[in-house]
Copies of this chain bind each other. A is one copy, B any other.
Amino acid sequence: MTDRLVLDYTGMLAAGIGDHGIAQASLDVAATRFRDVHAAVARQRTAGKLGFLELTDQSDVAERIRSFADGVGQAFDTIVVLGIGGSALGTIALQRALLRPFWNELDDEERDYYPRLYVLDNVDPTTIGPLFDRLDPGRTLFNVISKSGATAETMAQFLIARARLMESLDDAYRRHFIFTTDPEHGVLRQLAEGEAIPTFSVPPNVGGRFSVLSAVGLLPAALVGIDIEAMLRGAAAMDERCRNPDLLQNPAGLFAALQHLAHFERNAPIHVVMPYSDRLAGIADWFRQLWAESLGKRLDRAGAEVFRGPTPVSALGATDQHSQMQLYMEGPFDKTITFLAARERPFDLVIPEAYPDVDALAYLGGHSLGGLLDAERDATRSALSRSGRMNMTIEVARVDAEAIGQILMMFQIATVYAGELYGIDPLDQPGVELGKVLTYGLMGRKGYAPGDEGRAADRRICS
């Protein structure tokens, strides 16, 4: 494979940006230590704990997904994903990266007769009501995605969708659902069996935020014509590349180690991912879950309270130069900025030459719009570096399925390495339980205490 992802970390090092950067000696120590990190992760892989690494090797699943998409999937002109968090963010990222812009506004021919795709990742009735009113039930396929099969938001959406479908289709509603869930357990599995609804499985050892390359992400992707095999190929190539215990040759290792050094040696706990590409914007949001939910932990591996975790932030270039760059350039030295970019574009626009006597316009003429975007990225990187602000650039040849596979796999592996470096378990999420339990209580679920804050009297309010 020639079109390998490239990571330029010049701007993370003191040699590149001065005293606010990471010392070479620190990187050397990290490289030595990385052999242990790498070995620990290899052991987890062998023990079957890192199911997401096995997903590139499931050509039978990809084939079944492709068959479904080529067959019954073609009967629908709208796909609606009912899912939230890890069941939605990957699909949103793929949609944004690999479908034509304004996809849902295009007509059938412009979409090559692939369906529209909506991802309902919230339970706001002011969004869901109008959308459901516009759907033609007979032409809509709902992909309900929940690993546990108990996610309150997704189950509520499912109940509403089911009732709507039954109104117009009666028992045929079943043919408008496909569930993606645990292969054996949970409510969705049980319903699928009872009501003969087709399913795809999320392997039990694949957590929600690591599931984009399982049926969770692949099925919706295949249904709208994305080349899922190429994506898996890219992911496999990145996995292969990250089997290298030499930190400097391992992009996931480098990303994790540099962010970790930035956090603990340079006091920079805020990790910004800033694509210079509208199409890569969804990747930054997907990463935001991966990094936050995996690394933000109260307990370390030994059970001691540590309240650890960097805060990921997603930004977008050049847009956020006009929103966040003032802070990134002049605020506290508490951040790293990771640019994402592609070297080539499928097409570009020439900025016409006009107004030769007007300075503020003349210089633009003859350049391409993509060239302007690239210049802005280059200038921003350079300005940050000159101001001593840690930054790195992850570059792919072009935004295609194979490159996206590489990026997704790189960040996933980096997250597991980072778990080792931060000394926490990157695969659990105990902190979300309390909110769920309290929600169940407020909603009157059997076995849960009703909500009772009993604090109305001592609320502090300005009204």
Contacts and interface: CB of A to CB of B under 8 A. Distances in A.
A405 B430 CA distance: 39
A69 interface: no
A298 B330 contact: yes
Contacts of A296: 326-331
A311 B128 CA distance: 32
A361 interface: yes
A358 interface: yes
Interface string A1-42: 000101111101101100000000000000000000000000
A442 B355 CA distance: 20
B163 A352 contact: yes
Interface residues of A, number: 150
Contacts of A134: 102, 105
Given A313-B311, A345-B126, A369-B125, A443 B352 contact: no
Contact of A323 (B289, B325, B439): B289
Nearest to A355: B191
A151 to B, nearest CB: 8
Given A159-B352, A307-B333, A445-B363, A123 B372 contact: yes
Interface string A307-345: 111010100101101111111111111110000000001
A200 to B, nearest CB: 20
B363 A444 contact: yes
A100 interface: yes
A293 B326 contact: yes
A269 B438 CA distance: 28
A372 B327 contact: no
Contacts of A348: 125, 129
Contacts of A104: 102, 105
A118 to B, nearest CB: 9
Given A89-B323, A462-B248, A155 B379 contact: no
A346 B126 CA distance: 7
B329 A311 contact: no
Contacts of A352: 159-160, 162-163
Contacts of A151: 322
A254 interface: yes
Interface of A: 4, 6-10, 12-13, 15-16, 84-86, 88-89, 100-102, 104-105, 121-132, 134, 149-153, 155-156, 159-160, 162-163, 187, 190-191, 208, 248-251, 254, 269-270, 277-279, 288-289, 292-293, 295-298, 307-309, 311, 313, 316, 318-319, 321-335, 345-349, 351-352, 354-355, 358-365, 367-373, 375-376, 378-380, 382-383, 386-387, 399, 429-432, 434-447, 451, 453, 455, 458-463
